[in-house]
Chain A
Amino acid sequence: MTDVSSLSTAQTATAKKRKSSSLWKYLLVRLLLIIPTVWILVTMVFLLMRVTGDPISAALGDRLPADQLAARIEEAGYNRPLYEQYFEYLGGLLRGDFGTTISDNRPVLDVLMTYGPATFELAFYGLVVAFIVGIPLGRIAAYRRDKWQDAGLRTFAILAYAVPVFFAGLMLKLIFSVWLGWLPVAGRISTGSRRDLILIDNPTGIYLIDAIQTGEPAVVLDVLSHAVLPALALGLLTAGVFLRLVRTNMIGTLGTEYITAARSRGVREHRLIATHAWRPALIPIITVIGMQIAMLLGGAVLTETTFEWQGLGYQLIEYIKARDFVAVQGIVALLAVIVAVSNFIVDVIAAFIDPRVRY
C-alpha cells in the first residue's frame, strides 16, 4: 500500500526519490521470494529423505531387535502419517528447531552453531583467494585476448575447473606438508594453540578472530598456517571460474564503441581497463558470483574432508557415515537457507550498482 501511495506522489517528487522508492519495492519483492525458495528446498529434502523409510531404522536397524526398534520409532513419532510429520517439521523449522540428531542426541541447531563458523571461515578465505587471483587475471586475459597471456590464463582456468577440489587439496598437502614440511598436514589449529583459545572469554568459533583476541602472535600464525592450503585449494579453483567470467564480460565491454571513443579521447589504457570497461562488466560478474556461493559451499564440504577441517561439511560426512539422516536433513536445510539469503544479498548489491536491475 505504501508503495502505491509513494508511486502516485512520485511524479511531483524529485528523480532521486522516485529511484529509491522503486528500489525498496524491488528489495521487498526479492526478500519475499526467499520464502518459496527455502520452502521448496526444505520440502524436497524432507520428501526425498523420508520416502524410503524412517531415520531410526536407517540408523539403528541392524543393531536393535525389532521390538525395541518399533518402540523407538513410536516414541519419536515416525509411525504417524507422513504429512503430519511434515507439518510438524515445518513448524519446528519456523521456531528454529531443526530436529535432534540420532547418533549423538544433540539438537541440530547446536551442531550448526558449533561447526558453522569453521565452514564460514573456510569459505571466506576461499572467496578472498578467488577474488585476489581471479579478477586481476581475468582483466589481463581480456585485455591480452588471443595473445599468449590469454592462452596461458585460459588454460589455468580450464584446469582449475577440471581439477576436483579434493584432488588439488591432496596434492598441495603432499607437496607442501609431507614432502617440504612447510605447513601442517590437517586440522584447523595445533593442540598447543587450542589450549590458548579455550581461555578467551567470547569465542566466536572463527579461529582467526579468536586467535587475535588472545593477543599471541604465535597463535595467530598457527591458525593462519593451517588455513593456507585449504584456502588455496578452494580459492584457486574458484578463481578459475571468476577468471573466465571476468574475461568474457570484459571482452564484451572492451568491444563497445564508447571504449573506442574514450581511447580516441586519449584516456590511458590502464584507466580504460580499470574503470571504463570494468564498471559495466561488473553486474553480470556479481550475479554469477552469487551463484558461486552455492558451489563454494559444496566445495567446502569436500575441502573439509580432505584437510580434516572440523566444519559443517566434515560433520555432514560423519553423520552420513553414521547413517544419521535427521542430522543430514538439518544441515542440508540450513545450507539451503544460507544459499537463499546470500543470493538475496548479492541481488541487493547488484540492484544498488545497476539501476536496470530494479523494476
Chain B
Amino acid sequence: MTTAPVSKKAPLLHRLPIIREYRKSVGLQRWMLLIGLIITALILLMAIFAPLIAPYGYSQLRDDSGAFGARVAPNAEHWFGTTVGGYDVLSRFIWGSQTAVLVMIMAVVLSLFIGVLLGLVSGYIGGWLDRILVVVADAIYAFPSLLLAIVMAIMISGGQSDMLGGILAAALSITVVFIPQYFRVTRAEVVRVKSEAFVESSKVIGASSGRIMFRHVLRNSTRTLPLIMTLNAAEAVLTLAGLGFIGFGIEPSSAAEWGYDLNRSIADVASGVWWTALFPGLAIVLAVLGLTLVGESLNDLADPRLRTRRASGGGKVQSTSVQAEQADAQTDADTGDEEARA
C-alpha cells in the first residue's frame, strides 16, 4: 500500500462510484445520469424535509377553518385536491416519499447484507451447500416477485400494520425477493476471484478462510453491486406500491403510502375524479424513473459494448479520455495489488 505513489491515483472524489461513472460518460448517457441523479436527490430531499414542506400532516382531516371535505378538486387551499377520505393529496404525495425511501433503504441494505454473505460463503466453500443454495435461489428468482412479497407480507404482518410494522413488513417482503440477485452476482464473482493467484498465495502464507473470504475475495467481488443496488431500489418502490395497491398497504392514519392511495382512487377514476389517482401515481413514476435512469446509465457505462465513446475527431478530448481510462485501470490495478499484499 505504501509503495504505490499517491500522486498517481486520481483524487478520491473522482474514484467514488457514481462520480467516476459520471466522468466517464458523454452525450446522451451523461444527460440520463444527470437527470436521474437530480430526480433521486429531489425525492430524497422531499423525504428528509417532509415535515417542513408538506402543508398538512399525512393523516390530517381538518385545520382551523374546518374539515377539508372529500374529493375537493385542486384549488388554492389544496393544490392537488383532497381524497375520498378527506386527506390532502399534496401532503400525502410528500409524506409518501418518506415511506418509500425508508422501505427502499431497509430492503436494499438487508438484502445486500444477506445476499452478499450467502453468495460469498456459497461461492468460496462450494460443495453441497453451494448446490442447494443455487437451486433455491434460482427457484425464488424465477417466481413472480409480487406473489412472493404477498406471501411474506401475510407471514410477517398478517396483512395489516401500523407505521413501523408496516414499513418493516414491506421491507422484509421485498428483501426476500432481492436476496437471490445479490447471491447470484456475488457468487459468480467469488467463483472467478477464488482461482486468482493472490488467493492461493494467502492460503500458502497461512491466512484463515475467514480472512481470505472477507479481506481478499469479498473486496474484489463487489464491482457490479452499485448497479444492482440502484435498480433494486427502483424495484423496491414498485413492489411497495404493488403491495399497497392490492391491500397490504400501511393504514392511512399511520403513514402515507402511494400504492394504497392509488388503490383508493380506483372508484374515483370511474367517476372522473382524476387528482387522487394522478398525483400518487406520478410520485411513484418519478421515484422509479430517477433511480432507473441512474442504474441504466451505470449499466451502460459498465458494459463496453453499450458505452458511448467520445468522438475520435477532437485530439484534445480523446487524449483526456485515454488518460482517464488509464487512471481508472491504474486504480483498479492498485487495489488488486493491495489485496495481494495485505
Contacts and interface: CB of A to CB of B under 8 A. Distances in A.
On whether the two chains bind one another, the answer is yes
Interface of A: 36-37, 40-41, 44-45, 48-49, 51-52, 58, 146, 151, 158-159, 161-164, 166-167, 170-171, 173-174, 178-179, 185-186, 248, 251-252, 255, 291, 294-295, 297-298, 301-302, 305-306, 316-317, 320-321, 323, 325, 328, 332, 335-336, 339-340, 343
Contact of B151 (A36, A49, A186, A317): A49
Contact of A328 (B28, B154, B285): B154
B13 interface: no
A258 to B, nearest CB: 16
A134 to B, nearest CB: 17
Contacts of B151: 45, 48-49, 328, 332
A298 B154 contact: no
Contact of A301 (B146, B270, B306): B146
9 contacts: A40-B135, A158-B293, A161-B288, A162-B234, A167-B262, A173-B270, A251-B306, A332-B150, A336-B143
Nearest 3 A/B pairs, CB to CB: A167-B281, A298-B144, A298-B146
A175 to B, nearest CB: 9
Contacts of A323: 158-159
Contacts of A52: 155, 158
B: contact size bracket: 35 or more
Interface string B259-301: 1001101100111101001100100110011001100100000
Nearest to A301: B146
Nearest to B296: A158
Q: Which of A170, A185, A302, A332 has its CB near the most chain B CB atoms (within 10 A)? A: A170
Contacts of A291: 142
B266 A301 contact: no
B155 A51 contact: yes
B269 A37 contact: no
Contacts of B136: 40
A332 B277 CA distance: 29
B105 interface: no
Given A174-B269, A298-B147, A328-B150, A251 B305 contact: yes
B238 interface: yes
Nearest to A254: B305
Contacts of A332: 147, 150-151
B238 A40 contact: no
A328 B247 CA distance: 14
B145 interface: yes
A62 to B, nearest CB: 11
Given A44-B140, A294-B142, A298-B145, A173 B269 contact: yes
Contacts of B200: none
Contacts of B161: none
B308 interface: yes
B139 A41 contact: yes
A36 B289 contact: no
Given A40-B135, A171-B281, A320 B144 contact: no
B325 interface: no
Given A37-B138, A298-B146, A332-B147, A166 B269 contact: no
Interface in B69-109: none
Interface in B147-178: 147, 150-152, 154-155, 158-159
A170 B265 contact: yes
A178 B270 contact: yes
B272 A179 contact: yes
Contact of A158 (B144, B159, B292, B308): B292
A49 B155 contact: yes
Nearest to B139: A40
Given A251-B305, A320-B150, 19 more contacts: A40-B136, A41-B139, A48-B154, A49-B155, A51-B155, A159-B289, A162-B234, A162-B284, A164-B242, A164-B262, A164-B288, A170-B277, A174-B277, A255-B305, A295-B145, A302-B246, A305-B266, A316-B150, A320-B248
Contacts of B285: 159, 162-164, 167
Contacts of A325: 154
A211 B254 CA distance: 47
Nearest to B29: A146
Contact of B284 (A58, A158, A164, A306): A164
A48 B152 contact: yes
Contacts of A343: 142
Given A178-B270, A255-B305, A297 B242 contact: no
B281 A164 contact: yes
Contacts of A45: 151
B27 interface: yes
B227 to A, nearest CB: 14
A33 B281 CA distance: 40
B26 to A, nearest CB: 10
Given A161-B288, A343-B142, A171 B278 contact: yes
Contacts of A162: 234, 284-285, 288-289, 292
B147 A170 contact: no
A298 B150 CA distance: 11
A45 B155 CA distance: 10
A36 B281 contact: no
A166 B262 contact: yes
A302 B246 CA distance: 7
B183 interface: no
B241 interface: yes
A302 to B, nearest CB: 6
B245 interface: yes
Contact of A174 (B248, B274, B308): B274
Given A166-B262, A178-B270, A320 B247 contact: yes
A35 to B, nearest CB: 11
Contacts of B293: 158
Given A51-B155, A162-B289, A302-B246, A335 B144 contact: yes
Contact of B242 (A151, A174, A302): A302
